[in-house]
């Protein structure tokens, strides 16, 4: 299920010889010990990430967060006892500063929609490349959103309403540039660096994009764009 090759440096990643402004503390939750081992190996390969702890039960992770704050919680969706969706709900309520990225598989469509409604910070398929997982965690910590293209396409094709004809918003050139990078999972800070603009400018563009697409969150904005692209095919 998980690739066995070590992560490569993804586009936009911080090279190992560049000091990080902040180490991203991550907690991992999955009832499969092999998955936990693989995830720890992937994330530990990045000098910007510290794996604070791993858990095979969501309840244990929630108890851990009461005493040890983390920047990102990477959790499976389907687990015995408290599942990933319930964990997401409780983390949103009790630890709103913690980003939550969901791990899912192709047959978890219902769960993906439920997590989307709760503003998860991202969706990753369990067969995602190691570098995609690393990048998604870093993006979530910095306010970004990552959604696997295959996941977005599946959501659009089978569950989301098709875009209305002529419903594409009128975007400025700058908004189009920001949107393209946003859909690739870049954070505001990374977008600002790539476009050589202030981060506050990027935030303004993102706010305008969310309003134009009628999206309540960055993740819903990304899904709306994928929906538009599917409708145009």
Is this prediction's pTM over 0.75? no
Q: Which two tokens stand for residue 153?
A: 């396409």
Domains assigned to the chain: 24-157 (3.40.50.2300), 163-232 (1.10.10.10)
- Per-residue confidence (pLDDT) for residue 160, from 0 to 100: 47
pLDDT in tens, 107-129: 566 766 677 667 788 888 888 88
Kindly state the percentage of the chain with pLDDT values over 90. Answer: 39
- Per-residue confidence (pLDDT) for residue 15, from 0 to 100: 33
Find the helix packing angle between 173-183 and 188-195, rounded to 10°. 130
Q: Please give the backbone phi and psi of residue 74, each rounded to the nearest 5 degrees, phi first.
A: -105, 115
- Chain mean position to CA 159: 20
Is the pLDDT at 162 greater than 60? The verdict is: no
Find the helix packing angle between 199-213 and 188-195, rounded to 10°. 110
**H or E segment at 100?**
strand 99-104
Cβ-based neighbours of 200, under 8 Å, separated by 6 or more: none
Spatial distance between the Cα atoms of 193 and 152, rounded to a whole number of angstroms: 26
Spatial distance between the Cα atoms of 54 and 39, rounded to a whole number of angstroms: 9
Is the pLDDT at 14 greater than 50? The verdict is: no
Find the helix packing angle between 218-232 and 199-213, rounded to 10°. 60
Spatial distance between the Cα atoms of 99 and 93, rounded to a whole number of angstroms: 12
Which of 115, 98, 190 lies closest to 155 in space, CA to CA?
Answer: 115
Higher pLDDT, 13 or 53: 53
Is the pLDDT at 195 greater than 90? The verdict is: yes
pLDDT in tens, 74-110: 999 989 999 999 999 999 999 999 999 998 876 566 7
Is the pLDDT at 42 greater than 70? The verdict is: yes
């Amino acid at each position: 299920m998980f690739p066995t090759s070590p992560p490569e440096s993804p586009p936009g990643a911080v090279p190992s010889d560049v000091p990080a402004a902040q180490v991203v503390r991550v907690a991992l939750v999955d009832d499969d010990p092999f998955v936990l081992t693989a995830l720890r190996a992937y994330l530990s390969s990045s000098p910007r990430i510290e794996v604070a702890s791993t858990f095979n039960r969501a309840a244990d992770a929630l108890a851990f967060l009461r005493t040890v704050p983390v920047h990102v919680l990477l959790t499976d969706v389907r687990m015995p006892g408290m599942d990933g969706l319930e964990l997401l709900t409780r983390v949103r309520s009790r630890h709103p500063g913690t980003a939550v990225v969901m791990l899912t598989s192709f047959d978890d469509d219902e769960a993906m929609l439920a997590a989307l409604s709760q503003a998860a910070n991202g969706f990753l398929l369990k067969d995602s490349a190691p570098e995609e997982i690393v990048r998604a965690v870093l993006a979530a910590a910095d306010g970004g959103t990552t959604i696997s293209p295959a996941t977005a396409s599946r959501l659009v094709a089978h569950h989301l309403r098709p875009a209305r004809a002529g419903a594409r918003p009128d975007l400025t050139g700058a908004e189009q540039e920001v949107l393209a990078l946003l859909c690739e999972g870049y954070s505001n800070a990374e977008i600002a660096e790539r476009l050589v603009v202030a981060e506050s400018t990027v935030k303004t563009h993102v706010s305008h994009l969310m309003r134009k697409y009628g999206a309540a969150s960055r993740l819903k904005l990304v899904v709306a764009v994928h929906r538009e692209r599917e409708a145009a095919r």
